Each structure stands twice: as C-alpha cells, then as structure tokens.
Structure 1
Amino acid sequence: MKRLGTIDEALDAIYSFVDYSMTHVQTTDAAVFSLAKIRELMTRLGNPQETFRSIHVAGTKGKGSVCALMSSELSSYGYKVGFYSSPHLIDFNERFQINGKMIGNGRLLELINRVLAVIDDGFRPSTFDLMTAIAFCWFAEERVDFAVVETGLGGRLDSTNVVNPILTVITSISMDHTAFLGDTIEAIAGEKAGILKAGVPAVVAPEHPDALKTILTRAKAIGAPVVNVRETYGFQRVADDVHGQDVLFWRRVDQAVFNRWLDSAADEFSPARFHLNLVGLYQVLNAATAAAGLIRLKADGYLPDAGLSFNGFAGAEWPGRFEVMRLDGERTVVLDGAHNPDSAEKLTVAVNRYFGVRRIGFVVGFSEDKNAAAMIETFGAVGAVFIATRSTHPRAADPAEIAAQVRVNGRPVSVCETLEGALAEMRRMTDVEVFIVTGSLFVAGGMRSLLLGREL
C-alpha cells in the first residue's frame, strides 16, 4: 500500500479492512474467526509479541478494569508498562497506552504505515488484527517491561491470543456475544479459557460455578496452575462513596487471625488495604483479582522481593465505568457501559446505594444483539424516567423499539434519535436529579464526548 501522510488517512485505511465489531450479527458467521491471519501478520512483522513479557486478560466483564489496575500498580514500581485495550470511548489512540499515556498521532501514523506495508492484495487481515499488530509493534519498539493485553472478543480465537504470556487472567464471565461465543455459560467460559497456556499460571476471578468448572477442567487438561481468587483470598469493602472505596485484602489461610484482628486490631497481623477510584462492589472483585495476579507475578520472580504496596491501584482510571460527571456543572451524570443483564444488575445495585433517594433518569441505548428487555426491567427498579437513544455505531438498536420495551415496564420514556438530542432532553428534564447513561460503551463514550464539549 502507498504510504499515508495523515492520521485521518491512516485510520480510514485501518477501517477499510473487515471490522467485525461493526458488522450486524446476522451477516457474520462465527466460522470466519481464526488465528491464521494474525499469525501470518505477526510473522511478516518479525513477531514483535515475542519480545516482551505479557499478561493476557479475558472475561465478559471486568477485564478492562483488571488491566487498568495491574498496569497502574506495575507502573508505580517504575516499570515501563504497555496496555492494549478495546474499544475506545472517544479517541482511537486510547487503545494504546504506555504508563497511562496514549500514543501520539505521529507515532501512531508511523506504526500504521509500518503494519500496512506488509499487506498485499492476497492477504487481508481484519481491522482488529491490524490494531493488535500496531500495539505489539509499539510495545516492542519501546521495549516495555510488561504488556497488559486485554482480549477483544472471547479468547480462544481472539487476535491477541498470539502472545506467549507469563500470566493469564480470567475475569467475571456472564452471557454476552452469544452469536459468536455460544449460548451457554459453559460455552462462553470455554472460549475465554482458550487463552490458558500449558505451564503458565492462571488467575481466575470469582465465577459462576459452571463457568469455573469449565475453566478448571481446561486448566487441568493442559497443565496450567490456577489461582482461584475466591478460595485463596478474602476481600472486604470497608468504606465507599460515589468517588471511590477502600478495600481490605488477606489470604484465606489467615482467616482466623484476620477475624481476631477485626475484633481487636491486634498488632501481630494487618491485612493489605488499598484505595480504589473505581466505584461499585464489582470493582472490589476486580481489584482482588488484580491483586492476586500481582502476587503471583512476585512469587514467580517477576517483581522485586519487597512487599507489594497496591498503592498504584489508587491511580487506576477506567472511563465509562460508573464515571461521575456533571451536566452543566450542576446535576450528576453517571456514565457506565453496562451492556448485559449481569452488568445491569450490578450497576443498579450501585445506583441504588449511592443515589437511591433521588429522582433518577436512565438514558439508554443498546446494540441490536443485546438483551435490552432484561436490562430495561432491571433499570426500571430504580429509574423514574427514561430516554431511549442510539450511538453512531452501525449495530445500534432502534430507539423506538427500546422505548416500546420501556413502556412495557410502565415507565415514561422520551425517544431521541441522536445522543445530541438525548443531551438536550436531559437538560429539559429539570426534575431529574441524577442521570445514568448506559446500555453500551458506545453510548457512554458518545455522551462523555458531548459533556466534554466535543462533537461526535
């Protein structure tokens, strides 16, 4: 391909390849997913993924938060840490970070040209293959000490599954992307467990019993040692508000002495205590999973002998996940990318905890393949009024259909075809004290952009 001169040309070129995240579920067969093209692409680029130590993280929910927490903690020790994530909320560059800083446009343009230079007419990888290659080339060139790599979809056939990790992590698993990953919790867990590697430690978050059984079976079959977070560690939230929370963390083998410590605060024992700027009880589970992963890295000799502080957790930010913003400097707006029934329930618990006595409005938009009916029913338990809208994503569901489902649940609803219209409607609803913008990361990200004064 010809060399591209601007970042806009480069991004257009990247998106000109097949982008399965933009494809309507009815037109994409799961059989098209394969690691063959990403492996070929890596070979053509000199296999940059083999030059750095990687931590590979999969899961339905929480994987981005766990990645952010681990990246922040490792960076706090002075390591150079790459972080590859998806999707982005506002800027494409968000996907590629080193020590919390996004890649610059100039460097991104260079890398896109480098990756596209090995493409020819007979070889057409996917858009996500290309993005993954960009990340791995950048991390290799920057000689990162660690790269924390979040899967895009599933695990077994995800483009990121060409790394040779020193640690794998599987976060909370629930029903999502069923057209591609399967329609049972066991099938989805099996796809996520596809990132496990023989002899490589795996940290497994608290899971649904059927998901856990599937993961443990796979781990045993290939000889991957497992750290079962729920069995190995205790964790407890001890203080929280809408801006953050404090968590106690201890080993289960110390449970008896921990119980005595709770009664008397005896000097002979002190559990780890860390602060999170991430809100919600589910983030406590994510933090415990991240802490378990870091402890395993230390046990395997990848971190210094000095004790882990977990002070870096306080620096972890993950926008669009119970992110609190302001509407015109006054009323509260919470942005959260909850997009399946499980995450909707967790979001509703948090909303009720922090805003239960206030009049709450939900601004909702979903992708067309999601279980909107179940989520709307859950949100209706705390939401007094709804605004149905859509993001600019091609798979966004029709707001009129969303509104019809809201009416089934007996809640008043306004229909706005655009996020700009939804924001105007929020301003008109002066009796609503708190707005929850949710249903899709694309909706949360789009509203975030508007609240920051940026155009979509």
Structure 2
Amino acid sequence: MIIGLEQYKNKWNIHTDSAILPGLDAITAALEELENPHQTGRFIHLAGTNGKGSTAAFLSAILQAHGRSIGNFYSPCIEDLHDQIQINGTPVSSDELGWAMQQLSVVKTPLTDFELLTAAAFVIFRKQAPDFAIIEAGMGGTLDSTNVIDSEIAIIPSISIDHTNFLGNTIEEIARHKAGIIKKWKPVVVGDLPNEAMNIVREKADRLHSDVILPTKLADSRLGLKGPHQQKNAALALEAAKELLGLEFDEEKAQLGLSSTKLAYRFEKILPGVIFDGAHNKASIDALVETVKEALPDRPIHIVMGIFKDKDYVYALRRLETISDHFTFVNFDNERALPAETLFEESRSKRKTITNLCDILPVKGRKEETIVTGSLYLLTVLRNYADTFFQHYQS
C-alpha cells in the first residue's frame, strides 16, 4: 500500500489492487479513458537499480536554474504519496491530488495502486504544463506503468540484482527490463554498468537507432548531495541537460543547480548527530559506506537498521560492520519487514541491541553519529519521532 493513498480511494470510491502487476494494458486503457494525458508534454524517463532519484533531482535543479519549470514523478514515496508528484520541487497539495483522483474516479479500467498514482501524475502534469516532466520508473522498465510515455531522453544510472521475483535472476534479464525505456531515435544516457548490462543496452539502442551517451568524469563540482557516487549521478544529469537544452545550456547555471540540489533521505542530516539514508540494496549500501568514510572519517558511527526481508540483509550487515561496531535493530510495522531479532542474530557486532522506534534518537552530548538506514518505509515512520524529538532537543 502506498502511504496515504487509501484516504483518496475511500473518498472517491476508487477500487484498486495493492499487488504489483507488471504490464501496460491496464494503464494504457485507463489513460485512453482520460484522453491520454501522457501524450502531452516533454518527458524524461529514468530506470535503473540505484541513482534514479538523485539523478532526477540533479537534472531538475539544473533545468530549473535555466528557468525551466519541472514536474517530477518519484518512486517510491519518501514520506507519503504527495511527494511522489512534484512541481518545481514542491510536493503536490492534497487539494490538487484530490482533484486528480476525482478525475480518475470515473475510470472503468481496473488498476493497481501504482498505476492509479501514475495516472494521477499524468493528469496533474497535463493541467500544470511544466516545461519538462521527469518520470522515474517504479520497477524494471519495459512493463512498468510509466513506460507509456514517448520520452525525449532515457537515463539508466545503474543496473544490479534487485526485484528478482519480477525482473529475473541475472544481470542480463534485469538489463532487458531497464532497457525497455529506450525509445526509437531518442538518446539514452547510461551510467557505469556491468559489461553484461551494457551489452544489452547497446543492442537495444542500436535496434532503435538511439545514441548511447556516456558521461565524462565530472570536474570538481560542489554538489548538494554528499557521497562519491553522487559525482556519477550529477554527471548523468549534466549530459541529459545538455541534450535537452542544446545551445541554451549554460555551465554556470548548471553548476548552480548541482550545488543547490536536495533530496530527502540521501545522507540527509535530520537532527544534530542523526543522518537518514535510504540504502536498502547492495549498491546503495556500498555507496553509504563510502560516503561515511568520506564525510565522517574520524567519527564513531552508530547504525540503526530495519530492512525488508526480500533484501540481502547479510550483505548489508557485513558492509556496515566495516564502519561501525554499534548497531541497533528496529522492528517496524510492515508485512515485508524482517524481524529485528533476525538481524540481531546475524550481526557480528559486539555492541548490538533491539529497541523501540521512539528510543533510537540520540541524547545530548552523545559523541557518535547515528545513521538510520535499511528501508525508506522505516525512515518515514521515524521522521515523525525525529520531529517530536527535535522540539525537546532544542528546549
């Protein structure tokens, strides 16, 4: 269930399936009932295992620095479904989303929750008419409900093993899904992919007469998002912006955009001594470890962790244990959540505990940096506690 969606479904008597059902037939039929809002506007499409959100945020900031208005459809949500649909960095209001759901309430085609929200984004973007709409695929690419657009450019930041129950067990199988967002005669900007994945992407691009653009190494740039991996995401965004803006591309404006980029839960300082990072798979855990080494080289680290049971939690623990010997494992209310007791038993840390959600934030004077990670869902729940704690922290 997408956080916050149920209230709109109840209000407008909309019935959807909470399951993940890959395919384009339903979303295509529903959008036709809505007079095809996805056929209006200029779209950028992103698919990949990691880096989509950060690359989209960098690209949004660069284009806005050039005076362009931007719509964003992010996946998944950070705090609730409103931040999945944004105009110029501002989440859609409840009134605006309510208006979109009212339009969708007359659609007869059965949809899933994600298809419903995808359609809502297209309806809102048609009404708001941003200069560009940046669309992040939910899962995969070929059969993802966002893949109904005829995008001007595709971006694939990374490909690694994830969502194997839907996308396959090999890099090649997963790459075929991600490469499905490439459109005929339209360029694709590609990150540092494994050779097996790059071969699949190049084959698909060749069949569609699409140029494959590989970013050059980013010169020393001050980025709004921390971590060495963000240099690669920023380079992807720069190449895409150059393609989209052509002769109007301005290096100084681009650098202004890169330095001002913000994105929730990407090594984000929530409170003094508390950082939230949504790392939840191998590549993002690796990125978090490298970011900690770069940004906090001399600080003792306290890891607070909760994760979904379909993730490689053993790998996550082994990597995080290279930067910390103090772990707190958290149970949280989600059917996909891995029991904190399982993490506790698997952990090799000498300092480890299981605790309640509200007990994880630091007390005044603690010398450690607390990094909360493992699940975006967990971070969303904990943010409410952080807001409450911050009031006491300042008192």
TM norm. shorter chain > 0.5: yes
**Counterpart Cα distance in 2 of 1:156 and 1:278:** 29
Instruction: Using the TM superposition, give the Cα deviation of residue 16 of structure 1 relative to its aligned residue in structure 2, in angstroms.
Output: 5.4
**Counterpart Cα distance in 2 of 1:434 and 1:312:** 29
Map of 2:144 onto structure 1:
158
Give the partner amino acid of 2:32. Answer: T
- Asked if 1:18 corresponds to 2:41, the answer is no
In structure 1, which of residues 416, 421, 439 is the aligned counterpart of residue 374 of structure 2?
Answer: 439
Contact residue 175 and residue 185 of structure 1 kept, 8 A: yes
Map of 2:264 onto structure 1:
319
Compared CA separation, residues 12 and 178, structure 1 to 2 (3 A): farther
Contact residue 295 and residue 308 of structure 1 kept, 8 A: no
Contact residue 356 and residue 382 of structure 1 kept, 8 A: no
Aligned-pair identity (%) = 31
**Counterpart Cα distance in 2 of 1:386 and 1:410:** 7
Residues matched between the structures, number: 385
Map of 2:31 onto structure 1:
42
Instruction: Using the TM superposition, give the Cα deviation of residue 62 of structure 1 relative to its aligned residue in structure 2, in angstroms.
Output: 0.6
Q: Secondary structure at the match of 2:344?
A: helix
Gaps in structure 1 of 5+ consecutive residues: 1-5, 22-31, 239-246, 248-274
Off by >4 Å, runs of 4+ in structure 1: 11-16, 305-308
Compared CA separation, residues 411 and 212, structure 1 to 2 (3 A): farther
Contact residue 359 and residue 431 of structure 1 kept, 8 A: no
Map of 2:353 onto structure 1:
414
**Counterpart Cα distance in 1 of 2:121 and 2:311:** 29
Map of 1:452 onto structure 2:
387
- Asked if 1:146 corresponds to 2:90, the answer is no
Question: TM-score under structure 2 normalisation?
Answer: 0.91
In structure 1, which of residues 176, 182, 185 is the aligned counterpart of residue 162 of structure 2?
Answer: 176
Q: Secondary structure at the match of 1:452?
A: helix
Contact residue 7 and residue 105 of structure 1 kept, 8 A: no
Contact residue 326 and residue 349 of structure 2 kept, 8 A: no
Matches within 5 A, 1:106-145: 106-119=95-108, 123-145=109-131
Contact residue 386 and residue 412 of structure 1 kept, 8 A: yes
**Counterpart Cα distance in 2 of 1:433 and 1:410:** 16
Q: Secondary structure at the match of 1:404?
A: helix
**Counterpart Cα distance in 1 of 2:371 and 2:67:** 37
Map of 1:54 onto structure 2:
43
Q: Secondary structure at the match of 1:234?
A: coil
Q: What are the superposed Cα offsets for residues 409-455 of structure 1, whole Å, 9 maximum, x if unpaired? A: 24321113x422434xx549x7551111111111223223321239x
Contact residue 44 and residue 154 of structure 2 kept, 8 A: yes
Map of 1:225 onto structure 2:
211
Q: Secondary structure at the match of 1:176?
A: coil
Contact residue 361 and residue 432 of structure 1 kept, 8 A: no
Q: Secondary structure at the match of 2:218?
A: strand
Contact residue 242 and residue 249 of structure 2 kept, 8 A: no
Q: Secondary structure at the match of 1:279?
A: coil
**Counterpart Cα distance in 1 of 2:373 and 2:363:** 17
Map of 1:235 onto structure 2:
218
**Counterpart Cα distance in 2 of 1:390 and 1:53:** 43
Contact residue 170 and residue 204 of structure 1 kept, 8 A: yes
**Counterpart Cα distance in 1 of 2:359 and 2:27:** 40
**Counterpart Cα distance in 2 of 1:308 and 1:36:** 44
Map of 2:199 onto structure 1:
213
**Counterpart Cα distance in 2 of 1:34 and 1:158:** 6
Map of 1:359 onto structure 2:
300
Contact residue 335 and residue 448 of structure 1 kept, 8 A: no
**Counterpart Cα distance in 1 of 2:83 and 2:240:** 24
Instruction: Using the TM superposition, give the Cα deviation of residue 7 of structure 1 relative to its aligned residue in structure 2, in angstroms.
Output: 8.6
Map of 2:226 onto structure 1:
279
Give the partner amino acid of 1:391. Answer: F
Gaps in structure 2 of 5+ consecutive residues: 390-395
**Counterpart Cα distance in 2 of 1:83 and 1:194:** 20
Compared CA separation, residues 49 and 351, structure 1 to 2 (3 A): same
Matches within 5 A, 1:327-346: 330=272, 332-346=273-287
Contact residue 69 and residue 290 of structure 1 kept, 8 A: yes
Question: TM-score under structure 1 normalisation?
Answer: 0.80
Instruction: Using the TM superposition, give the Cα deviation of residue 306 of structure 1 relative to its aligned residue in structure 2, in angstroms.
Output: 5.6
Q: What are the superposed Cα offsets for residues 271-303 of structure 1, whole Å, 9 maximum, x if unpaired? A: xxxx3110000100000000011111133xxx6
Compared CA separation, residues 446 and 9, structure 1 to 2 (3 A): closer
Instruction: Using the TM superposition, give the Cα deviation of residue 308 of structure 1 relative to its aligned residue in structure 2, in angstroms.
Output: 6.4
**Counterpart Cα distance in 2 of 1:361 and 1:449:** 20
Compared CA separation, residues 398 and 293, structure 1 to 2 (3 A): same
- Asked if 1:71 corresponds to 2:46, the answer is no
State which structure, 1 or 2, has the greater radius of gyration over its C-alpha atoms. Answer: 1
Give the partner amino acid of 1:126. Answer: T
Over aligned residue pairs, what C-alpha RMSD do you find? 2.3
The farther-off stretch of 145-154 and 311-320 is 311-320
